[in-house]
Amino acid sequence: MSLEQFKDRNVGVQNYRQLDLPQSPTTAMCKVKQVAKRSLKGELFVGLGVTVREMVSTLFGKGLHTTQYPFEKLPISPRYRAIHEMLRLLESGNYRCIGCGLCEKICISNCISMETRYDENQRKEVSAYTINFGRCIFCGYCAEVCPELAIVHGGRYETASEQRASFSLFEDMLTPIDQLSLQQEYQGFGAVSPNADDNIKKTPLAY
Amino acid sequence: MSDITVKINSQECKAQEGEYILNVARANGIFIPAICYLTRCSPTLACRICLVEADGKQVYACNAKVKNGMNIETVTENILKERRAIMEVYDVNHPLQCGVCDQSGSCELQNYTLELGVDSQTYSIADTVRESKNWSSVLHYDAGLCIVCERCVTVCKDMIGDSAIKTTARGGEALDKSYKDTMPKDAYAMWNKLQKSVIAPSNGTEQTNCSDCGECVAVCPVGALVSRDFVYTTNAWELNRIPATCAHCSSGCHIYYETKPTSISNREEKIYRVTNEWNYMSLCGAGRFGYDFENTNVSKDEKAFALAIEAFKKAQTIRFNATITNEEALMLQTLKEKLGVKLVNDEVRAFQKFLNAYSDASGKSLYGSDFKELMNSDFIISVGSILRKDNPNARYVFNNVQKMNKGAGLYFHPIGDTVIPTFGKSVETFNHKVGLEEAVCYLILDLFAPKDKLSDEVKDYIESFKDGDTNGLVELLGKDSAKFKASFDKMMGKKSSFGLMVGEDFFYHEKSENLAKLIALIEEVTPLNIAFIPPKSNALGVSLICELDDEATGYTIGYNENGDFKLSALGDGNLDIPALNQQEGTLTNMNKKVVPTNSALEYNGYELNDIMKALFDVPRLAIDWTAYLPVDKGFMSHEFDSLPNHYTNAGVELRGYSLVKFTREANEIKVDRFDEKAILEGDIVCRANPQRQFSDFTDKAHQINEAFGLYVSDAKSKSIGTSKAEISFGDERLILDVMVDDRMEGDIVALPDFQSKHNVYGLFGTSRYKIVTIKGV
């Protein structure tokens, strides 16, 4: 999905046109004349005609604009901040999360909690991770601070559930391994800016 | 030593002659970056970042001494250039894994990189493979993260005395020649050294042979040295730091318990690690790793509490130990006064008797010096203490004097120790026979007392051992007197302050009263500053607060000890009480200071004050007792909440208050002669714990793994021949595993007392040594 429409906030240069309106009636006589004119001209039926035309095109043509929610959903902006997703590395399928704890630290409602340990491969492993969605205010700081783009906001905005815990486990937020190919790169807050390469200096390497 | 003034960045600063510029700046709140320097240790000069300009000349602040009227600039254009280059060099090939690093957030490499604004890199060199290794049961070294500042090496040598680690060849590429001309000079020199070295155990193996104190972990500025238990478990910023006092031995070190919820599902606080102010106080392995001795899952058991009240009403004796706060000791003393119970404390009674005998003889309520003062002396003597096992801090003092003050030392103890002679070139060890402790005192009198100050009787007695050039006392204690005289004369050269530390052998001794008098005499007539090493945690506090009895009679309540009704913080008693990391209170340490400790963990059960409240009309909280500690014994009536517990930037210890020392007129000290017949011969066992073990509490901690067994030297284990040995004290027999302590020497074996269930104090009685029969089984 392109971001152009969201990035274009410059309303000033769009093409506005002043409507060609007649002058409002000023005297009482003028007002009476205008009422009489409008009543007799059959303008009412013009409006009805529009309705009938739209009805016909909706019913028999392809002009239906109603979204059949919950069977259909509109695409949502990548900057929308809904239930979090935990992403995987595309090549290996491993979690992207390295357990740095920055999301836990930055969280202003103190709802992220994690456990880490030293694993058999001498790496830091995240052994447990939860977000308390009863507290989460969906501010997006966690996604913004994440150095690995591992925790991101997804598009799951339906947060009604019998238990909020339904959303909070690492496994629930994690991209299912069989849907790894469908995993979308995050474009919201914290994503790499398009000109990131221009903003860094290269470290010399002796290889 | 005299007060002088220097100007740092045109700010007038008061300083002592001979102080380092860096310490003066720190004391005056002026920032000079420094990575490799440790207060109380010798300057390493590895990082070179503390470069300053003194009177127009560039010097290193960590090893340049201040001179009167000196003008010091901490920042010049050239210095900034050097510092930035140094930080860039440190960042070359440093793994970009701050995200997972344990030190992230409290990392000096991160801090100084930011402070000096390093935002790009100009240097490069091919990296060397450096693998992470486990050095011991507690030490984890990630060579990749190491910046070879050598702080760990320095602290291990200058403070701890193990010298268990050293720098070794890295096998890295040589620096590109062109850097020599293009780089700032100091940065190049520092890089040249850095690129050649990495840290490794000094015994040439993959494992360190050391006391596992973990001080190297504490001083590491980056995440290279971390304790194995802590690696990757939490970030430093998640931890809640609780200032406290270590409860394991009489050093009473200042520590921080660092806590955080146990897990996602269990929100109860758990201690993740213990840290310390490593510039001013060094911990031992028990203090650093023996922190999880709390009494868990305790709730208010009303039935047990009612039984406890009944038990206290009919109790005739309360048996307790030294792992107790001053407030609790005062409560027990109150029980004695109001209910007439006897107070029995095997760990403290002998020390109390010794202290009283010393006070009677000397007229002073407390020993004259403390270990802070001893650390500044340049001649130190240890008597009656197995320095390595009894008290880590006393050992650090002994070692530090050798390393920092160009000091000399005399070590008297029946058990040989291979570590002590390595502390310095001017250390003489006497492995004398058990029973000759009084002879040691007479030798010290002979060596240090001006002859005119000694009474004729003592003088004649000492002279009676001398025969021409031969000093019979030296010979008696197992050394050649001619050789000793030569080395002693060398040791005494340019020495100005002398210290003597007195250990547990002297308290648990048939002749402890005479020994106390001898020590009092030594203090009076010689220039030696004297400090005692109280045997266990709060032994000094208990001995001042409680009137102890010798024998337990009738119905006995055990307070963390065996008894008919047992109150225990170990979870194995009739009523639970909080452990020392779960309660507030004060402890009296060997520096004669009353220091506060705070509770790190939650405790929901009953404590001693609840029982006191049920029996009498007493204060609501245990810490309300702090103000009522006996003023006539040297305590002050300060409220607990008014007691500070921290160090200042200048290294001033603001912890609690010092005990007041009373002096009164004393009579002339009359000392007895010693009896050579008191020498023990045969198989001798000494009551001594392995290092890092002090009590049931250290034993409970999961990282302290020294087992209960018979500790013997390598040679002795060969003569026993089996892996288990039976040791019999007359009728009582114990069958124990034979553990080889490769730093012990000689035939005397050590039986630990840290598990109270074995009633080891009962076996030894009032002595620390016993003749036993040992046979392999």
Residue B182 forms contact with A (CB below 8 Å): no
**Whether residue B722 has pLDDT greater than 70:** yes
Query: In whole angstroms, what is the distance from residue B500 CA to residue B355 CA?
Result: 16
Q: What is the pLDDT of residue A194?
A: 87
Query: In whole angstroms, what is the distance from residue B106 CA to residue A67 CA?
Result: 53
Residue A72 lies in a domain: no
Instruction: Tell me the pLDDT of chain A averaged across its residues.
Output: 86
* Same domain flag for A111 and A161: yes
Tell me the nearest-neighbour CA distance from B180 into chain A, angstroms. 17
Q: What is the pLDDT of residue A10?
A: 65
Q: Could you say which of B232, B235, B264 has the minimum Cβ distance to residue A130? A: B264
**Residue of B97, B104, B232 best to disrupt the A interface, most CBs of A under 10 A:** B232
How many CB pairs lie under 8 A apart between chains A and B? Answer: 60
Q: What is the pLDDT of residue B598?
A: 95
Question: Chain B residues with CB inside 8 Å of A118's CB?
Answer: 228, 231-233
Question: Chain A residues with CB inside 8 Å of B228's CB?
Answer: 118
Q: Which of B497, B532, B567 is the last residue of a domain?
A: B532
**Residue of A100, A202, A207 best to disrupt the B interface, most CBs of B under 10 A:** A100
Side chain identity, residue A176: P
Interface contact flag, B119 A130, Cβ < 8 Å: no
Residue B284 lies in a domain: no
* Same domain flag for A150 and A89: yes
Question: Chain B residues with CB inside 8 Å of A94's CB?
Answer: none
Residue B123 forms contact with A (CB below 8 Å): yes
Provide the ipTM: 0.85
Residue A122 forms contact with B (CB below 8 Å): yes
CATH of the domain at B706: 2.40.40.20
Q: Could you say which of A124, A128, A207 has the minimum Cβ distance to residue B264? A: A128
**Whether residue A1 has pLDDT greater than 60:** no
Query: In whole angstroms, what is the distance from residue B732 CA to residue B740 CA?
Result: 23
Tell me the nearest-neighbour CA distance from A110 into chain B, angstroms. 12
Q: What is the pLDDT of residue A22?
A: 80
Interface contact flag, A128 B237, Cβ < 8 Å: no
Question: Chain B residues with CB inside 8 Å of A122's CB?
Answer: 132
Strand segments, DSSP code E, in B491-632 are 498-502, 528-532, 556-559, 565-568, 575-576, 585-588, 593-597
Of all residues in chain A, the one with the smallest CA distance to B134 is A122
**Whether residue B739 has pLDDT greater than 70:** yes
Interface contact flag, A101 B238, Cβ < 8 Å: yes
Residue A51 lies in a domain: yes
* Same domain flag for A47 and A125: no
Please state the rounded mean pLDDT for residues B378-389: 95
* Same domain flag for A90 and A145: yes
* Residue range(s) defining the domain that contains residue A47: 28-59
Residue B498 lies in a domain: yes
Question: Chain B residues with CB inside 8 Å of A205's CB?
Answer: 124
CATH of the domain at A128: 3.30.70.3270
CA atoms within 13 A of residue A160's CA, in its CB half-sphere: 0
Q: Could you say which of A118, A148, A206 has the minimum Cβ distance to residue B126? A: A206
Q: B95-132, pLDDT tens digit by residue? A: 999 999 999 999 999 999 999 999 999 999 999 999 99
Q: How far is CA B83 from CA B65, B79, B94, B698, in A?
A: 21, 6, 17, 44
Residue A10 lies in a domain: no
Task: Provide the pLDDT confidence category of residue B418 given band limits of 50, 70 and 90.
Answer: very high
Residue A118 forms contact with B (CB below 8 Å): yes
CATH of the domain at B363: 3.40.228.10
Tell me the nearest-neighbour CA distance from B121 into chain A, angstroms. 6
Residue B262 forms contact with A (CB below 8 Å): no
Interface contact flag, B100 A99, Cβ < 8 Å: yes
Residue A15 lies in a domain: no
Q: What is the pLDDT of residue A42?
A: 80
Share of chain B above pLDDT 70, in %: 100
Residue B462 lies in a domain: yes
Task: Provide the pLDDT confidence category of residue A12 given band limits of 50, 70 and 90.
Answer: low
Residue A45 lies in a domain: yes
Residue A97 lies in a domain: yes
Q: B545-576, pLDDT tens digit by residue? A: 999 999 999 999 999 999 999 999 998 999 99
Confidence (pTM): 0.91
Q: Could you say which of B124, B232, B237 has the minimum Cβ distance to residue A116? A: B232
Tell me the nearest-neighbour CA distance from B98 into chain A, angstroms. 8
* Same domain flag for A93 and A170: yes
Interface contact flag, A203 B121, Cβ < 8 Å: yes
Query: In whole angstroms, what is the distance from residue B760 CA to residue B132 CA?
Result: 42
Residue B395 lies in a domain: yes
Q: What are phi and psi of B580, to 5 degrees?
A: -70, -10
DSSP state of B247: -
Residue B392 lies in a domain: yes
**Whether residue A14 has pLDDT greater than 80:** no
Q: HEC profile for B138-192?
A: CEEEEHHHCCCCCHHHHHHHHHHCCCCEEEEECCCCCCCHHHHHHCCHHHHHHHH
Residue A136 lies in a domain: yes
Residue B238 forms contact with A (CB below 8 Å): yes
Of all residues in chain B, the one with the smallest CA distance to A101 is B235
**Whether residue B608 has pLDDT greater than 70:** yes
* Same domain flag for A117 and A171: yes
Q: Which of B532, B552, B584 is the last residue of a domain?
A: B532
Q: What is the pLDDT of residue B349?
A: 95
> Do B703 and B229 contact (CB within 8 A), yes or no?
yes
Q: HEC profile for chain A?
A: CCCHHHHCCCHHHCCCCCCCCCCCCCCHHHHHHHHHHHHHHCHHHHHHHHHHHHHHHHHHCCCCCCCCCCCCCCCCCCCCCCCEEECECCCCCCECCCCCCHHHHHCCCCCEEEEEEECCCCCEEEEEEEECCCCCCCCCHHHHHCCCCCEEECCCCCCCCCCCHHHHEHHHHECCHHHHHHCCCCCCCCCCCCCHHHHCCCCCCCC
* Same domain flag for A97 and A54: no
Task: Provide the pLDDT confidence category of residue B38 given band limits of 50, 70 and 90.
Answer: very high
Please state the rounded mean pLDDT for residues B491-506: 94
* Residue range(s) defining the domain that contains residue B463: 351-532
Question: Chain B residues with CB inside 8 Å of A95's CB?
Answer: none
Tell me the nearest-neighbour CA distance from B237 into chain A, angstroms. 8
Query: In whole angstroms, what is the distance from residue B744 CA to residue B711 CA?
Result: 9
Residue B50: which of B41, B38, B40 has the closest Cα? B38
Residue A16 lies in a domain: no
Residue A173: which of A195, A139, A142 has the closest Cα? A142
Q: B255-299, pLDDT tens digit by residue? A: 999 999 999 999 999 999 999 999 999 999 999 999 999 999 899
* Same domain flag for A49 and A132: no
Query: In whole angstroms, what is the distance from residue B72 CA to residue B258 CA?
Result: 39
Interface contact flag, A122 B234, Cβ < 8 Å: no
Interface contact flag, A104 B233, Cβ < 8 Å: no
> Do B594 and B640 contact (CB within 8 A), yes or no?
no
Least confident range from A87-101, A165-179, B354-368, B514-528: namely A165-179
Q: Which of B532, B557, B577 is the last residue of a domain?
A: B532
Q: Which of A44, A59, A74 is the last residue of a domain?
A: A59
Residue B654: which of B639, B644, B642 has the closest Cα? B644
Residue A130 forms contact with B (CB below 8 Å): yes
Residue B522 lies in a domain: yes
Q: A15-24, pLDDT tens digit by residue? A: 777 788 888 8
Please state the rounded mean pLDDT for residues B590-603: 95
Least confident range from A8-22, B231-245, B380-394: namely A8-22
Q: Could you say which of A114, A128, A147 has the minimum Cβ distance to residue B99? A: A147
Counted domains in chain B: 2
> Do B252 and B591 contact (CB within 8 A), yes or no?
yes
Residue B83 lies in a domain: no
Interface contact flag, A203 B264, Cβ < 8 Å: no
| 612-671 in chain B: CB under 8 A from chain A | none
Interface contact flag, A115 B263, Cβ < 8 Å: yes
Residue B43 lies in a domain: no
Counted domains in chain A: 2
Interface contact flag, A115 B264, Cβ < 8 Å: yes
Of all residues in chain A, the one with the smallest CA distance to B98 is A100
Instruction: Tell me the pLDDT of chain B averaged across its residues.
Output: 94
**Whether residue B513 has pLDDT greater than 60:** yes
Question: Chain A residues with CB inside 8 Å of B124's CB?
Answer: 203-206
Tell me the nearest-neighbour CA distance from A180 into chain B, angstroms. 25
